[in-house]
Structure 1
Amino acid sequence: MVRPLALALLAPAVAASVSNIHISQLGTTIAINLPPNNNDINFYMTAPTYYSWVAMGFGSQMANSLMLIAYPASDGKHVTVSPRLGTGDTEPQFDSNYHVRLNGNSTVYGSYIVASGTCVNCRSWAGGYLNSNTNSQPMMYALGPSTSSHIASNDQGVTIQKHTAYGRFLLSTIQATGYGGTGALTSIDNQVNTGTQPVNTYGANSPNGVIVGDSDSLGLAHGITMAVAALVLAPIDVILGGGRLLSSFPLIHAVCSLLYLLLLIAGLGTGIKASAEYVATQQFATAHQVLGFITFFVALLLLGLGIALHVGRALSSSGERGVVGLAHKWGIRFLWLLMLIDGGLGLQLAEASIGLIIGYIVFAGATFLAVVFVLACLWCIGSRRSRSRDGVRSAGIVDGGGVFRKSVNSRKTSGDSEPVIIPDNRHAR
């Protein structure tokens, strides 16, 4: 990738003790300088603004590592750098015990973000330390997703989305030790790499040591599964379960309900696994998660009511729905409403774009109105047929078996006139 000349002009080229690496595939450069006789780390990071954030980490894995994460400040021109500690396979958390001092070269310049400064007293942290006398200090880098809303914040504790690219490499802290400070780091774009190229520690999936396209697959699977359940199967199930004219097809309703439940189970499973990857969701206390559990338990309750309803119909000759039938019918509609609301809360929790959220609201609203219209039509048609049957039944005689008949023993004719139907009186003489 061609590096802009302006980056090299941010500061004069100064020979200094620098250890750096440039990942050409990602257009990203990382460098450090370790001033002698103190525990500070001078750092330099630059990456395309195509990525929402750029990070460098000290260590070979996120757990027990110190990471410096850079992203644009709220004005879109300056840069915020957040020192964070990694605790495992979740996003690292800001730690106010570590202080970052930025220099004037830290800026959003054209299509690149440049972060340069000093992490004060950062060579040791809870769970780890930087080896100042080695040619193979384990390091990490990561880049935030480009598809989500880009961060523009002065808050060092702002929530970040899962990285879309990452890798590991080695730096020589011996080479990096010496005077020069942060001013020397901004000239490293014109220097040959002094660090080891990305280390292939991820197996066959990273032949060049770089992982690209590492999206939140669990979260995406959860979202797609629940979207299909809420916007496709749920409306069909509501119509099949609530339409009087469709009650003669219980098998179709049962199959649809089974698929519906399987999707809910799959969505619950992927949602629980995805929640473990983020600190904010590990306690399962967000509105989306709480409503999701409620929705699932309501679905199980409706499943029980549906089984009881069908068993009751099989054992009863009347076929009446009764209280259980009404509870099942309105419960299905209530469940669908919960799912539509929870889908919106899920998009908000995932910090989806405004366009995606608006699109979901419009599509969900249109689907809801369409189902209401279909149910209203079915109700009108069913009521009309019911009134028609009641009118025919009231004009005749219903025998003990419920079969309509007219008396054939009471017909008298007079000439060519129509037969007159008179009440059946078996005792008449």
Structure 2
Amino acid sequence: MVRPLSLALLAASVSNIHIPQLATTIAINLPPNSNDINFYMTAPTYYSYVAFGFGSGMANSFMLIAYPAADGKHVTVSPRLGTGDTEPQFDSNYHVRLNSNSTIYGSYIVASGTCVNCRSWPGGALNSNTNNQPMMYALGPAYAAHLASNNQGVTLQKHEAYGRFLMNTIQATGYGGTGVLTSIDNQVNTGTQPVNTYGANSPNGVVINDRDGLGLAHGIVLAVAVLVLAPMDIILGSGRLLASFPLIHAVCSLLYLLMLIAGLGTGIRASFEYVATKHFATAHQVLGFITFFMGLLLLGLGIALHVGRAMSSSGERGIVTVVHKWGTRFLWLLILIDGGLGLKLADASLGLVIGYSVLSGATFLAVVFALACLWCIGGRRTRTRDGAVADGGGGPVNFGFNGRKSVNSRKTSGDSEPVIIPENRHAR
């Protein structure tokens, strides 16, 4: 079977590595008497990007990352600096000149070109006279939201697969470049060897399915909090249900807050992995902090209601009760909105965004319906009780300022009906 376009390993001035598990090939050529790096890389397009870098780890490394251009036919290559276990950041001080064969070829992305003056960078440099230059590669999440951009600084999701290898830069030094391509069936590594530092479960030093676990945990925890616990908490904190099940409401509120804390913690940790979020200035993050502190305040009000005076001395609802009840409902609405902002920030797929929107809307309407039913039931019971009193159920009836007479609750011994006393307006 003929494989897609790959590097023709015809010159000794090329070092390359082929990773069969990932159908990925990476190669470099180092022109003599130059600070340039000629490069070639290819990978299946179902990975959102393909990248390789110089260094043994993300910190103080230099990387070249290739992904489809906005037209879906050409390729964008972004030179970036690594600062640690976080998304590498684009550096405009480095210029990439692409060859004409850099394109989307069938189901493969092919990037070939020259990185000008790229052999040294802040915190590191390429050793062009060694047979064990530390290198690494990475592939973006498979079948993720489609990445197609001309922007070299576009936000990247965490890689799904990665590995390390050692490259012989002495062999890579010479004339010829990496522009000669051919269709070959057998591919071998020349001047490279994989470094297996990840244990027995990572053959040939390849780690696969290394997805963004923190971001996933952040989303799942908050989804459970906002779509399950919050509706239960709001319904249990309303009307007669609160009077009947105060302990259940308190436990549900506590679990709700604990889930918010867990979601905040995973969100903060995941934020450090991306350039766009590590400064905590996005709308999703700002609103997330606001809702978290609102939740703490409302929990404090709830505790005050439970251990203190929940009702005023006159039996009417106190202002603290009103603020707690309606503040909790408004908080829930804000968290629902913030969830949508989080999906947008994470470049979630359209299907996931639609699913969350539908589920959130349905849950919101269900809670509104439940609250309306509780309100109607409570109002009907109140009206039934008041009607029974008005019909002579034994309690005093006073026609207020609009009536002309009042019913005296006192009865004489032998009276079968209340005594009607004319109202004396002048007495007021």
Whether 2:233 is the aligned partner of 1:237: answer yes
Partner Cα separation in structure 2 for residue 239 and residue 321 of structure 1: 18
Q: Which residue of 1 aligns with 2:97?
A: 101
Partner Cα separation in structure 2 for residue 101 and residue 317 of structure 1: 79
Partner Cα separation in structure 1 for residue 3 and residue 265 of structure 2: 50
SS class of match (1:25): helix
Q: 1:295 aligned to 291, 295, 311, which one?
A: 291
Whether 2:252 is the aligned partner of 1:256: answer yes
Q: In angstroms, what is the RMSD of aligned CA positions?
A: 2.4
SS class of match (2:67): strand
Letter in 1 for 2:15: S
Matches within 5 A, 1:111-122: 111-122=107-118
Letter in 2 for 1:201: T
Q: Which residue of 2 aligns with 1:321?
A: 317
Q: 2:18 aligned to 19, 22, 31, which one?
A: 22
Letter in 2 for 1:208: N
Q: Which residue of 2 aligns with 1:139?
A: 135
1:118–1:182 contact (8 Å) kept in structure 2: no
1:67–1:83 contact (8 Å) kept in structure 2: yes
Q: Which residue of 2 aligns with 1:171?
A: 167
SS class of match (1:182): coil
2:234–2:328 contact (8 Å) kept in structure 1: yes
Identical amino acids, percent of aligned pairs: 78
Q: Which residue of 2 aligns with 1:330?
A: 326
SS class of match (2:110): strand
Distance 1:314 1:285, change over 3 A: closer
Whether 2:357 is the aligned partner of 1:361: answer yes
Residues 56-92 of structure 1 deviation map (CA, whole Å, 9 limit, x = unaligned):
1011111111100001111111111111111111111
Deviation at 1:175, TM superposition (A): 0.9
Residues 241-280 of structure 1 deviation map (CA, whole Å, 9 limit, x = unaligned):
1234543211111111111111011111111111111121
1:76–1:152 contact (8 Å) kept in structure 2: yes
Q: 1:53 aligned to 30, 49, 52, which one?
A: 49
Residues 266-313 of structure 1 deviation map (CA, whole Å, 9 limit, x = unaligned):
111111111111121111111111111111111111111111112234
Partner Cα separation in structure 1 for residue 185 and residue 115 of structure 2: 21
Deviation at 1:359, TM superposition (A): 1.5
Residues 168-214 of structure 1 deviation map (CA, whole Å, 9 limit, x = unaligned):
00110111111111224667875531133321123455343111111
Distance 1:421 1:167, change over 3 A: same
Relative to the length of structure 2, the TM-score reads 0.89
1:295–1:339 contact (8 Å) kept in structure 2: yes
SS class of match (1:279): coil
1:309–1:321 contact (8 Å) kept in structure 2: no
Partner Cα separation in structure 2 for residue 71 and residue 319 of structure 1: 67
1:135–1:171 contact (8 Å) kept in structure 2: yes
Whether 2:43 is the aligned partner of 1:43: answer no
Partner Cα separation in structure 1 for residue 49 and residue 367 of structure 2: 43
1:44–1:186 contact (8 Å) kept in structure 2: no
Distance 1:188 1:120, change over 3 A: farther
1:313–1:319 contact (8 Å) kept in structure 2: no
**Which runs of 5 or more structure 1 residues have no equivalent in the other structure?**
400-405, 413-419, 425-429
1:136–1:170 contact (8 Å) kept in structure 2: yes
Partner Cα separation in structure 2 for residue 17 and residue 411 of structure 1: 122
Distance 1:180 1:246, change over 3 A: same
Letter in 1 for 2:34: N
Paired residues in the alignment total 408
Deviation at 1:5, TM superposition (A): 3.6
Whether 2:272 is the aligned partner of 1:276: answer yes
